[in-house]
Amino acid sequence: MAAVAAADAVAVVVANMTNVTTITKESKSIQIIPQLGIGFRPELARFIEQQENIQFVEIIAEDFMHLECIPQALRDLQKRGVTIIPHSLSLSVGGAERVAVERIEHLNSLAQYFDSPFVSDHIAFVRAGNIESGHLLPVRRTEANLAVVCENVHSVKAGLSVPFVLENIATTFDWPDNEMDEATFVTAVLEQTDSRLLLDVSNLFANSHNLKFDAIGYLQSLPLERLEYVHMAGGIFKNGLYHDSHCHSLKEQSLKLLSALKSICSVPRVMLERDDSFPDMAELVDELEAIANA
């Protein structure tokens, strides 16, 4: 009963968010209300099916290597009008090697199958010399590497039929000989490749905590007119570091950053990521409601 009540509560909040355009009399400005989404995982399929307020889901492209294996749950969501966004982990646009054509083609095939408005990946590298890291690794932020990243992004965009959106990553280390800060590097990549931004607010909190920089200043330095959507995920503090685990509850610090972002710019879409240690329905609803309120 608690889960049902919580679901009703968040449905009211998000219905109000998505169906009302707020006009501030003093400024005569129009406030654009974001769509609410969630990362699709098989363990969450039943929960997502029951949430009428979910307007988009993000799928991990590498989980669906063959179109004939796409689950009925995703097909049903598509029929219901839920937007489906393919999100890749393996393009490795920050690597020294050219992005594999077959990876681009696969990502584009998912976009075409689901009639997706765009696809996304990360400003990171995941392999070198055919060795997979198994993790999203930060790019050394130099002018030379900026040129490499931009060249790779251009090659990805040339093979896509939809826009390409790039995400900032979370990391527990940084290169000692960087020539620019992260916000400057991300901005340069987006502007030089004319790409859109997936801003992971929780990743930003993780990095600002671990690497000791001002998260609000970072936000203010980004070309937020390029913002396409936002990720929110949970993590854990351990030995002085914040680990972006995606299997713990949302932290208040991330929610405060989301509110700060909303005060700076319009946020078209915002979504919850949960990859493991899946909680009960009531807790998931609480996290979606917290995002909606923020």
Give the residue extent of every domain in the chain: 37-293
Whether 261 contacts 199, CB under 8 Å? yes
Tell me, what's the pLDDT at 45?
96
Tell me, what's the pLDDT at 183?
98
* pLDDT mean for each 10 residues of the chain (294 residues): 44 41 33 81 96 96 95 97 98 96 98 98 94 94 98 98 98 93 98 98 97 97 98 94 92 97 96 94 94 93
Q: Which two tokens stand for residue 252?
A: 């208040």
Cβ-based burial of 283 (10 A; exposed 0-12, middle 13-18, buried ≥19)? middle
The whole model's pTM is what?
A: 0.88
Domain 37-293: give its CATH code.
Answer: 3.20.20.150
| Chain centroid offset of residue 231 CA | 4
Q: Using CA atoms, how far apart are residues 146 and 140, in angstroms rounded to an integer? A: 9
* DSSP summary character for residue 29: P
Tell me, what's the pLDDT at 1?
43
Tell me, what's the pLDDT at 33?
56
Whether 138 contacts 173, CB under 8 Å? yes
